[in-house]
Amino acid sequence: MSRPDFRRWAEALAGDRTARRVVPPSGFSAALTIVSAAAMAFLAVFAIAMALAAGGLAQRWETELAGTATVTVPGDPASLPERVGAVLKALSETPGVVSARALTADEQKALLAPWFGTDLPLDALDLPALIEVTETPAGPDAVGLKQRLAAEAPGAVYDNHDRWRAPLVAAAARLRSLALIALALIAGVTAVTIALAASAALAANGQVIDVLRLVGARDGWITGAFVRRFTARAFAGALAGTALGAAAVALIPGTSGAGILSGLGLSGAEWLWPLVVPPGAAALAWAATRIAAARRLKEAA
């Protein structure tokens, strides 16, 4: 490649310097573009983190709760061990049940601790025994198992968690959908804000544009000047907002057992998703500025 060809190639990437001087390098429109892009990018990082966390939470709930069940065995302390033994025997003979075990007193206390504290005296309470059941993917015949438990241990309740597993998974899926809707709204607000800033800059430079047209400047050349300037501003602002948003997400404590907040932070390859925000903001700015400039120049023609 010859030197003149290299110069033309570099100018094509950077844009005509004369065209870039048509757009003011500072002012209200410049500040509005950079600040709005930074703010929207900051919010977009959190929306991405929320969408990923909700998706992971739905998958985790589906995985952890599928194939499990619980049998509640009521009774007085004297007869409870015998009743538990009868239920365990019935479960061991039931096709579709992989294993079954009775929870210890310490495990029951840990389950009740969030509601009653750690000093709960289980001995003074007439609590039912809990049996944890692991099922095969097909699972047992629930109707037949309930009938056998009713005959051998009246009052025993078999619960395969289907009543509340599906609503939990659906709630996590809806939360992910809301996060994606928030991303779409952020993108829309960003595009509208940048379009308004570009329109304001075009209106403020109306006399300059009129003079350029008189000396033979084409609308495509003028539009390109504004598009390049506002695209660069949006990319710079979004880059700063993404960095701040990623830093804020990294500071969220990754505590376990905190519901949706336990997985809100990004991890591993998920940290690559925020890198999409600055190019996305630049693409929105490119499209919004081009549309705004074409409309403004058409009205001024």
Residues 52 and 201 in one domain: yes
Last residue of a domain, one of 126, 159, 192: 159
Asked if 227 contacts 290 with a C-beta cutoff of 8 angstroms, the reply is: yes
Last residue of a domain, one of 143, 159, 175: 159
Last residue of a domain, one of 141, 159, 177: 159
Asked if 287 contacts 191 with a C-beta cutoff of 8 angstroms, the reply is: yes
Q: 145-182: per-residue pLDDT in tens?
A: 888 888 888 888 888 777 767 777 777 788 888 989 99
Q: Which domain holds residue 266?
A: 17-62+166-300
What lies within 8 Å, CB to CB, of 75 at 6+ separation is 83, 128, 129, 155
Residues 112 and 214 in one domain: no
Q: Where are the beta strands (DSSP E) in the chain?
A: 68-73, 97-102, 129-135, 157-159
What lies within 8 Å, CB to CB, of 86 at 6+ separation is 152, 153
**Position 57 in a domain:** yes
Residues 145 and 213 in one domain: no
Residue 195 has pLDDT above 80, yes or no: yes
**Position 5 in a domain:** no
Residues 202 and 104 in one domain: no
**Position 11 in a domain:** no
Residue 19 has pLDDT above 80, yes or no: no
State which H helix or E strand residue 88 sits in. helix 80-92
Question: Lowest mean pLDDT: which of 7-16, 57-66, 206-215, 281-290?
Answer: 7-16
Residues 131 and 219 in one domain: no
Q: 98-128: per-residue pLDDT in tens?
A: 888 988 877 877 777 766 666 666 666 677 8
Residues 186 and 287 in one domain: yes
Overall average pLDDT of the 237-266 stretch = 75
Query: What is the residue-wise DSSP string for 121-133?
Result: -GGGS-PPEEEEE
**Position 9 in a domain:** no
Structure tokens at 56: 């992971």
Residues 192 and 50 in one domain: yes
Residue reference for tokens 């549309």: 291
Residues 111 and 143 in one domain: yes
**Position 109 in a domain:** yes
Residues 145 and 122 in one domain: yes
**Position 226 in a domain:** yes
> What percent of the chain has a predicted confidence (pLDDT) above 70?
80
Residues 84 and 205 in one domain: no
Overall average pLDDT of the 225-234 stretch = 88
Q: CATH code at 98?
A: 3.30.70.100
Count of domains for the chain: 2
**Position 84 in a domain:** yes
| Torsion angle in degrees (nearest 10) through CA of 157, 163, 168, 169 | 120
Instruction: Enter the pTM of the model.
Output: 0.67
What is the CB neighbour count within 10 angstroms for residue 156?
A: 24
Residues 140 and 232 in one domain: no
**Position 10 in a domain:** no
Residues 39 and 127 in one domain: no
